[in-house]
Structure 1
């Protein structure tokens, strides 16, 4: 199995609903997120790629135009804006374009990440 990955970054704010008032994530806050998309294939295309990295510029455009410097509650339309939910949202968008997508990982900090993988 061949595996490739590419990282992207964005900054955004959010509030996570359903938490106790004293929980810091129940208040408006933001992160400098990092997104990693992982693609896998048992076979390479005729050029020798799993997927040409340049094709992933569509994901960069989505991130830049839809997520970067936005309030994620408004983008997603609800208050379940955890990294886990964001990873699945991005994964679903990517799968419509690239069948090789194996996982999407989201980091809020250098020490934490959440991943969606079917």
Structure 2
């Protein structure tokens, strides 16, 4: 098998995969409270970032097919669900959604370094990043 040339010293690659899900929820808020307390829905977008050094034989940090399989296992837990009822999510905030996606992906792919969740129609989002190692 042919090996791939090594990247520059100390280089780290990042790969990403995006997905979306449609879901409903309620939320107890002080501002914009009335509409948030009623069941309503959004299209959420998510992006998972994995980082590392490409394997010498494959040239890949991780096979994107593996990333898509992990997403395919996680996505049904959120897609077309009432998020208030998703075990382990907590209140359906962008922060909790990012953490939920992180936990679901990291258990399958420990190279996860970032998860971003956003609602395109509203222009808001949340990014959860792995803290730099000391």
What TM-score comes out, normalization by structure 2 length? 0.77
Question: How many aligned positions are there?
Answer: 115
1:87 alignment counterpart = 98
2:73 is the alignment partner of 1:61? yes
Q: 1:52/1:84 Cα in 2 relative to 1: closer, same or farther (>3 Å)? A: same
1:105 alignment counterpart = 116
Q: 1:3/1:77 Cα in 2 relative to 1: closer, same or farther (>3 Å)? A: closer
Structure with greater Cα Rg: 2
Q: Contact 2:70/2:105 (CA < 8 Å) preserved in 1? A: no
Any unmatched runs of 5+ in structure 1?
Answer: none
Any unmatched runs of 5+ in structure 2?
Answer: 1-11
- Structure with more of its chain in helix, by fraction: 1
Offset at 1:70?
0.5
Offset at 1:22?
5.2
1:9 alignment counterpart = 20
Q: Contact 1:9/1:35 (CA < 8 Å) preserved in 2? A: yes
Q: Contact 1:31/1:109 (CA < 8 Å) preserved in 2? A: no
Structure 1 residue matching 2:14: 3-state secondary structure: strand
Q: Which moved more, 1:70-79 or 1:53-62?
A: 70-79
Q: Residue 38 of structure 1 is aligned with which of 45, 49, 61? A: 49
**Higher relative CO (CA 8 A, sep ≥ 6), structure 1 or 2?**
1
What stretches of structure 1 move > 4 A for 4+ residues in a row? none
2:128 is the alignment partner of 1:116? yes
Q: 1:22/1:44 Cα in 2 relative to 1: closer, same or farther (>3 Å)? A: closer
1:28 alignment counterpart = 39
